[in-house]
Chains A and B, each alone.
Chain A
Amino acid sequence: MALGKEHPLHGRRKRSNLLLGAVLGGFVALVFAITIVKMAGGGSMEGYDHTIRYSIDPELKATEADQ
């Protein structure tokens, strides 16, 4: 059901909602930008996953890691 009358309160809330939306949108954009920069920088994208892999520690010999 549509509201019959606009109260000044609705205007204030609309402004608040738009601002909060902008902040959240900005945050998403920021996280996206950080992700792009981190990945472009070639940072390690492969974390430890309960097995030792020489791809995350080149010092290890392949044979050791495979065991």
Chain B
Amino acid sequence: MSDATVNEYGQDAQFDDYFALLKPRVMSLVVFTAAVGLLVAPVGVNPVIGFASILFIALGAGASGALNMWWDADIDAVMKRTVKRPVPDGRVTPRNAMILGLWLSVLAVGMLAITANFFAAGLLAFTIFFYAVVYTMFLKRSTPQNIVIGGAAGAFPPMVGWAVATGGVSVESVMMFALIFVWTPPHFWALSLFMNDDYTKAGVPMLTVTHGTRVTRNNILGYTVVLALVALGTAFTSIGGPVYLAVALVLNAMFLRGAIGLWRRGDSVAEADKYAAERKFFRLSLVYLFVHFAALLVDAALRGFAFMPQVPVVF
């Protein structure tokens, strides 16, 4: 017996490996959108309560990420993008990923209930359930609508943030939800256009795999049009403002232009330039979401200054 026993817990799993299970990059997006949802709400929240709530929402998101990595280890092992994740790489055992995911879920929901309110905690619990069970266990492997419906999981955080402040749901929080929900399909389909081989190999029924790239390009354009309507509509709720409206006009014009560009292209053209336009559209989609939420935050900060022009509240 040596003084270093490693086999039982994977290849000497370290703190960073467990942290990687929580999908830190997804978590950072959750932190941001949940914080915006909380900060744009008309009710003030004590900074300590707000900070702790955001932390627990992020922890819940991380927990569902760990559950996803436990369940999807077989898929992750064959996809280039995910093969280095802790479970397929053998650094953490699937069982430990599951245990971490379950306990962190319980901790995150329980602590949010104590810190904020039961409604927000219930919504967080539903988000975890939706991502880990509805999306990961059922939708992902069974239907090309996987990311359309699964996108709801990623869209809940600003709604949870809003619920932390207000204790409920309203048209504003539904619009923030809709913004991420409708944004998700074009975002992931653009990715799947240039990562198609990976999804085919893993047997994940992405739209590109089941219906081909033509249908995917059509759908990207369709969802982008709806997204523009949602994004502009949000400007005319109580959380909208002049900064957001200006930003939404510019970004949606750019995003629509990109989507039309993808729609016009065929695979031969795309392969010729190594999917340059698809990659560019994907990168733009990241900027798109970030800047929209940042603009909501800016408008919230500027509200109340008399010199700011007002956008009429229609919804």
User: Which A positions have Cβ atoms within 8 angstroms of B?
Assistant: 3, 7, 9-10, 12-13, 15-16, 19-20, 30, 33-34, 36-38, 41
Known: A9-B6, A10-B4, A37-B48. A15 touches B115 (CB 8 A): no
Shortest distance from the beta carbon of B235 to any chain A beta carbon, whole Å? 34
Query: Is B14 within 8 A of A12, CB to CB?
Result: yes
Give A30 to B55 CA distance when docked, in angstroms: 10
Q: Is B1 an interface residue (CB 8 A)?
A: no
Complex interface: chain A residues within 8 A of B114 (CB):
34
Give A41 to B15 CA distance when docked, in angstroms: 37
Give 29 A-B contacts (CB < 8 Å), ordered by A residue. A7-B4, A9-B4, A9-B6, A9-B12, A10-B4, A12-B12, A12-B14, A15-B14, A15-B15, A16-B14, A16-B15, A16-B16, A19-B15, A20-B15, A30-B52, A30-B55, A33-B48, A33-B52, A34-B48, A34-B49, A34-B52, A34-B114, A34-B115, A36-B48, A37-B46, A37-B48, A37-B49, A38-B49, A41-B46
Complex interface: chain B residues within 8 A of A19 (CB):
15
Which residue on chain B has the smallest CB distance to residue A20? Answer: B15
Give A30 to B46 CA distance when docked, in angstroms: 14
Complex interface: chain A residues within 8 A of B16 (CB):
16
Give A3 to B115 CA distance when docked, in angstroms: 45
Give A20 to B16 CA distance when docked, in angstroms: 10
Shortest distance from the beta carbon of B107 to any chain A beta carbon, whole Å? 9
Complex interface: chain A residues within 8 A of B273 (CB):
none
Give A1 to B161 CA distance when docked, in angstroms: 52
Complex interface: chain B residues within 8 A of A33 (CB):
48, 52
Complex interface: chain B residues within 8 A of A3 (CB):
3
Shortest distance from the beta carbon of B205 to any chain A beta carbon, whole Å? 38
Complex interface: chain A residues within 8 A of B49 (CB):
34, 37-38
Give A4 to B48 CA distance when docked, in angstroms: 47
Contact with A along B93-123 (1 / 0, CB 8 A): 0000000000000000000001100000000
Give A20 to B3 CA distance when docked, in angstroms: 21
Give A34 to B116 CA distance when docked, in angstroms: 10
Complex interface: chain A residues within 8 A of B115 (CB):
34
Shortest distance from the beta carbon of B301 to any chain A beta carbon, whole Å? 23
Give A10 to B14 CA distance when docked, in angstroms: 11
Complex interface: chain B residues within 8 A of A10 (CB):
4
Shortest distance from the beta carbon of B103 to any chain A beta carbon, whole Å? 13
Shortest distance from the beta carbon of A2 to any chain B beta carbon, whole Å? 11
Give A3 to B4 CA distance when docked, in angstroms: 11
